[in-house]
Amino acid sequence: MLKNRSVVTIEDVSDEDLKEIFSIADDMEKLLKENRKADIMQSKIMCTLFYEPSTRTRLSFESAMHRLGGSVISMADVKTSSVSKGETLADTIRMADSYSDIIVIRHPLEGAARLASRFTNKPVINAGDGSGQHPTQTIMDLYTIRKELGHIDGINVLMLGDLKYGRTVHSLIIALSRFNVKITLVSPESLKIPDYILKRVHDEDKIKLSTDLESSLPEADVVYVTRIQRERFTDPNEYQALIGSYSIDSNSLEMMKKDSIIMHPLPRVDEISTEVDRDPRAAYFRQASNGVPVRMALISKIMGVM
């Protein structure tokens, strides 16, 4: 049960929780198509604390809360908050605790969300902590795969790009390993998946590491693309050497299954050509739109109203 609990890593969400979230998200999606609000979170306030830039995650969380009938208070820019004056994370969380009923935090330091949960009795949702995890993105990704392909078990998933710093793929690899899937990880050697993530998967035999994109594309049911994250590099020369390492373009589409899908947590830079956008297999914008019903479902579960 997720009632009154924090979601800091994808391990905080059980298989049964996922099934319930998916079912509620289906209902929420119907409600959204009918242009109706749920009105089940009246008088409840969400506080969003974003120490890093965000578009989709912050807006979808805030949209989800509003569509549930609740309210939102937000720190979207640390430069205009007391953080710029030296306020500690602990003190900021203590203040958010007194102003709100649920807290969503994105932070550049891995482990920040877990630390935040220790300074409040209110539920904390991790919206991305450095190169750590992004559990709600993973729930959304799993929901997207289920919705697009009709199932998760039995598929082949190719993950491509920055697997070292990519918190979205860290959470997704751990979650997918709980299903009957095969996972191929393609990245430059310097951006391969960290060993500590592999140690947390349920079955390492499901995972294959490679640097060869072309040989991996034909078998993939899901091609999950990530960008090379400039903000994670301390050496700009290292970043410049890696950008453009892999990309999905019209030639890639020729190699892929006709019923496969392409996903991306966004934003993209040059790792997916815009010419791919017209292909029906390009699911990344549909994936992003799933963020609202999925986060509506998660908030409802945590707040105990569903």
106 is catalytic: yes
56 is catalytic: yes
Is 274 noted as a catalytic residue in this protein? no
Where does the chain show beta strands of DSSP type E?
A: 45-50, 71-75, 102-107, 124-129, 156-160, 182-186, 207-210, 222-225, 261-263
Active-site residue, selected from the candidate residues 58, 67, 106, 281: 106
From the candidates 58, 107, 122, 134, give the one annotated as an active-site residue: 134
Rounded to whole angstroms, the Cα distance separating 262 from 170 reads 18
Q: Of residues 37, 44, 56, 268, which has the active-site annotation?
A: 56
Would you call 50 helix, strand, or coil by DSSP? Answer: strand
Closest CA to 21 of 303, 245, 300: 300
Going 198 to 199 to 202 to 203, the CA torsion angle's sign is positive
The Cα–Cα gap between 306 and 300 comes to: 5
Residues β-bridged to residue 207: 183
Helix (H) / strand (E) containing 104: strand 102-107
State the Rg of the chain over Cα: 19
Instruction: Report the alpha-carbon distance of residue 173 to residue 207 in Å, rounded.
Output: 9
Catalytic position from the list 33, 79, 80, 85: 85
Q: Count CB neighbours of 232 within 10 A.
A: 16
β-pair partners for 40: none
* Contact between residue 188 and residue 226 where contact means Cβ atoms under 8 Å apart: no
Query: Does 134 participate in catalysis according to the annotation?
Result: yes
Tokens of 26: 């289906």
Active-site residue, 234 included: no
* Catalytic-role residue among 9, 48, 57, 168: 57
Amino acid at 67: R
In this structure, which long-range contacts are made by residues 35-38, counting pairs with CB atoms below 8 Å and at least 24 apart in sequence?
37/66, 37/67, 37/68, 37/69, 38/67, 38/68, 38/69, 38/296, 38/300
Point out the residues that are catalytic.
56-57, 85, 106, 134
